[in-house]
Amino acid sequence: MQIKRIEKEIRDTPKHKATEHYIGRLRAKLAKIKEKIEEQESKKTGGGGGYAIRKQGDATVVLIGPPSAGKSTLLNRLTNAHSKVAPYSFTTVSVIPGMMRYKNTDIQILDVPGLIEGAEIGKGRGREVLSVVRGADLIIIMSDIDRVQAIKHIAKTLESSGIRINKKKPEVRIEKKNSGGLIIHSNIKQGFDKETIKEIAGEMGIKNAEITIKESLDVEELIDAFSKNRVYVPAIFVINKIDVGNFQNHEKFLLISAEKGNGIKKLKKAIWSKLGFLRVYLVKPDAEPDFSDPIVVKSGYSLADVAKDIGSEFFENKKGAKIWGSGAKFPGQEVSLSAKAVEGMMIRFI
């Protein structure tokens, strides 16, 4: 198989300055082959792996883990079993949805079949499961205290499938041209020279372009920047069934018992935080500021973004806002629509 041959060649090639271009080109070629395989699989199943997930609510969270890790129990616990929980059949994979209500948000939780070893090459309908994961706003990677290493294996599977967890997209701008070859711009010192960048870009199908690199990258991050199939998704790592064993490593994992309810409040808080939600409160004209009319927006939103979310007609007539509470230097401070929304801010648009 071509993939295994290239992987072996990368492992066997001595790593030093003289082989930098060659190894970079091999890694880019490997990424391109995997990208083509994914595109072919997507076409076979009608796009997106054949799973047009019906997104509902303010965000979608996917529970992923090995079989029998307690994902279904956690789904029922997070949704309090009050939301409608029924199987959605997507071709050959059953996806179980639930809706979690938390801080004025409706967060869709999807329980997908357990990932087994070799999922990235299609074992256990792994490609279909991974296509669902690619569409998530947040991933909960979950195992139990007897299979802690499963989390590491799942993270590796996601990585090899082009799913980058808890990482940001590389700051690289690619402006394609009709001719002129490749022009590289970067004021930041890289661990490789411009010829390596050009060789990797060429291997990834970029022949004529101005490429601007705005941060220090390694070769894999550079390949990611040139790839079409990379997705960047936040993740929470969860160890379940702590009520039946003793697990002391608290640094990377959130410890819960889905059956007993231990750690569920912390998990809900972590979900909210990782999704980057915050609440702001609208103040009606001539009304006193209060917390009676909350809306949920994403972290980083400007007040203009908040107004646009309310409606385009509403936004058209707004020139600024008065704010109270969080973010205000004094009650009723007038600010421009470029001001950033913060948790707990009370806003009257003017």
User: Mean pLDDT, the chain, as a whole number?
Assistant: 84
How many angstroms separate the first and last alpha carbons of the chain? 64
The residue among 111 and 234 whose pLDDT is bigger is 234
Q: Are residue 247 and residue 341 in the same domain, yes or no? A: no
183 pLDDT tier (thresholds 50, 70, 90) = very high
121 & 236 share domain: yes
Name the pLDDT band for 87 (thresholds 50, 70, 90): low
Total structural domains in the chain?
A: 3
Q: Are residues 237 and 221 in the same domain?
A: no
Residues 191 and 254 in one domain: no
Q: Are 267 and 282 within one domain?
A: no
Same domain, 68 and 152: yes
For residue 137, pLDDT over 60 is answered with: yes
Q: Identify the domain boundary among 203, 226, 249.
A: 226
User: Does residue 118 register a pLDDT over 60?
Assistant: no
Average pLDDT of 306-325? 92
State yes or no: pLDDT of 294 exceeds 80.
yes
Q: Are residues 37 and 60 in the same domain?
A: no
CATH number of the domain that residue 321 is part of: 3.10.20.30
Tell me which of 207, 226, 245 is where a domain ends: 226
pLDDT digits (tens, 9 = 90+) for 195-225: 889 989 998 999 999 999 999 999 899 999 9
Of residues 195 and 115, more confidently modeled: 195
pTM of the model: 0.80
Contact 202, 239 (CB under 8 A): no
Q: What domain range is 190 assigned to? A: 2-44+170-226
Predicted confidence at residue 40, as pLDDT, reads: 64
9-23 pLDDT, tens digit per residue, is: 778 787 777 677 777
Q: What is the pLDDT of residue 50?
A: 42
Q: Write down the residue that tokens 């490593």 correspond to.
A: 249
Question: Between these two residues, 148 and 116, which has the higher pLDDT value?
Answer: 148
pLDDT band at 24 (very low <50, low <70, confident <90, very high): confident
91 band by pLDDT with thresholds 50, 70 and 90:
very low
Strand partners, 99: 108
